[in-house]
Amino acid sequence: FKVLNVAEKNDAAKRISDILSGHQYQVRNGLSRFNKIYEFNYYMLGQNCSISFTSLSGHLLNYDFTGIYRKCHGCLYPMLFNTVIFGFITRVSLQRTLEREVRNSQALVIWTDCDREGENIGFEIINICRNIKSNIPVYRARFSEITDRSIKSACNNLQQPDQRVSDAVDVRQELDLRIGAAFTRFQTLRLQKVFPNTLADKLISYGSCQFPTLGFVVERYKAREQFQPEDFWKIEVVHTITQNEADGPITSTFSWKRNRLFNELACQVLYANCETPVVATVTNVSSRPRSRWRPLAMDTVELEKLASRKLRINAKETMKIAESLYTQGYISYPRTETNSFPKDFNLERLVQEQTSHPDWGGFASRLLGLNGGPQPRNGHKSDQAHPPIHPTKAAPHLTGNNARIYELITRHFLACCHRDAKGQETSVEIEVGGESFSVQGLMIIERNYLEVYHYDRWNGKIIAVYEIGDQFEPTDVRMTSGRTTAPSHTEADLISLMDKHGIGTDATHAEHIETIKQRMYVGLTNDQRFLPGELGMGLVEGYDLMGYAMSRPELRAELEADLRRICDGTANKNDVLQRHISTY
């Protein structure tokens, strides 16, 4: 009984074959030299099977218009929304490999990534194979990590592919083609006519995800440009005292309860009351427990933001590295919207994998010894497909940015499973010259997750001991000044906006950001802030002046919501397609 298995990439096919065969597979060439065929025997579908395992290189199928509609000057733009489109195979060698292999197979198992795109690629494989053998049984392997446990469990629990999820991708692909082609041709030809010397040979592309992404950059840039920094003034009270010779002098800096004033003269009047020889009186002393929360379980958006902020690695490079770590079996599937571990998830096994690591192995061992064991801080999001991102095995030999991304994921996972940091905060309030000031001291009692998660900072702060009614002469009373600063706009900020407004998915944020950079619609400053180029700014403002808010996120967010409804079975594929075509 021969079973044809197909993965999304050759690396995944090789790794899964290695697991299932116990390192005993044979290799032969397919019709593409990049996609090998791995052969071995394995117990599957209730019997001993002869396994052939091959792969694709992403999508096999692409879409385009026919005849005159393929030409930039061939038709009126609105016609592109209704004319026929056709699908064509982009890698004929891979198609022929599938056709050849399925002829001698009695079953087909799909091993593509378990997300929307992977499901759609799976149906591309199914359609090619069923054109050759129409009645071949088809199964879907569902897994979130390429480890022995997960892959063998997927083999034992084969399911049916989900047509609805694939339909959602079909709708997205068709709309992207029709909308992108119509508006790309419109703005390219229009702007080439207006600016023949500078744009004569330039394609000015439009995409319903890339344009709102560009809109966020332009909007934040305008906010920064229009931002008027304001001078402000504030008063501080400093008290230095030696209460214990062993501790030496302790300096406490009291902050003004008014925080700051934007009127210098008003601040000077209040400062004069505090500056004259006066006595500070302690009006209140309170103490309360404080906690610093450990991080939530990691989803894709959080990985991209943390890598950008903490490691200075952009989202595209982060996801490329994460995909590689996943394929090698070091981490779970990195494209997930889930930030909550299931209750029956075996966290102890994953923590145990880390106990031998020289940097965080001791922390992992102590985590296993805690009363109750690992207890993750869970969020409220789940894509019902994959768990949060986590390490699946130790990776002692990684180097460079691969090691840094793996370390971030591992430390985040261990921190998430530990306990919140605990401290005791003492707050002291004083009155000087009729003005109120306060200072907070912090004693950290249990560092807990902070021991492993050095991306967070929570430092203790020692202040002198005060009691209500105490009076003292301040060491210094000073008036300081500052200026308000404009909002930042880093890649992490942009990803947050895209996630908040539903532009793209966790799997495509990095791709859309990279597109507007490659199109020269935006650039990056030396301090890694986004800056719109002249063309990017002109496109957004041009549509705004015409009364078409093409850069606003609502249009794409509505589509993303409808795609989710197709996946859930609460919306019809054709209804969604026609509704969004009519909108544009």
CA distance 165 to 515: 25
Query: What single-letter amino acid sits at 256?
Result: W
- In DSSP terms, which residues pair with 446 in a beta bridge? 422
Q: Catalytic one among 333, 453, 466, 543? A: 333
Reported in sequence order, the residue ranges of 16-170 that DSSP labels E, i.e. its strands, are: 26-28, 37-44, 47-55, 61-65, 85-89, 107-111, 138-140
Any idea what the Cα angle at residue 454 is, between residues 453 and 459, rounded to 5°? 110
Q: Dihedral of the CA atoms 77, 80, 82, 86 (nearest 10)?
A: 170
Count how many residues are written for the chain: 584
Enter the tokens of residue 54.
Answer: 């091959």
Contact 108, 3 (CB under 8 A): yes
Distance from CA of residue 357 to its chain's centroid?
27
State how far the Cα of 248 lies from the Cα of 241, in Å rounded to an integer.
8
* Burial class of residue 554 in the structure, from the number of CB atoms within 10 Å of its CB (0-12 exposed, 13-18 middle, 19+ buried): exposed
| Residue found by looking up tokens 């997927």 in the block | 154
Beta-carbon contacts of residue 500 (< 8 Å; ≥ 6 apart): none
Opening angle at CA 317, ends 378 and 15, nearest 5: 75
C-alpha span between 528 and 507 (Å, rounded): 22
333 is catalytic: yes
Closest CA to 115 of 394, 495, 380, 504: 504
Q: How far apart are CA 527 and CA 497, in angstroms?
A: 20
Which amino acid makes up residue 101?
E
Residues labelled catalytic: 333
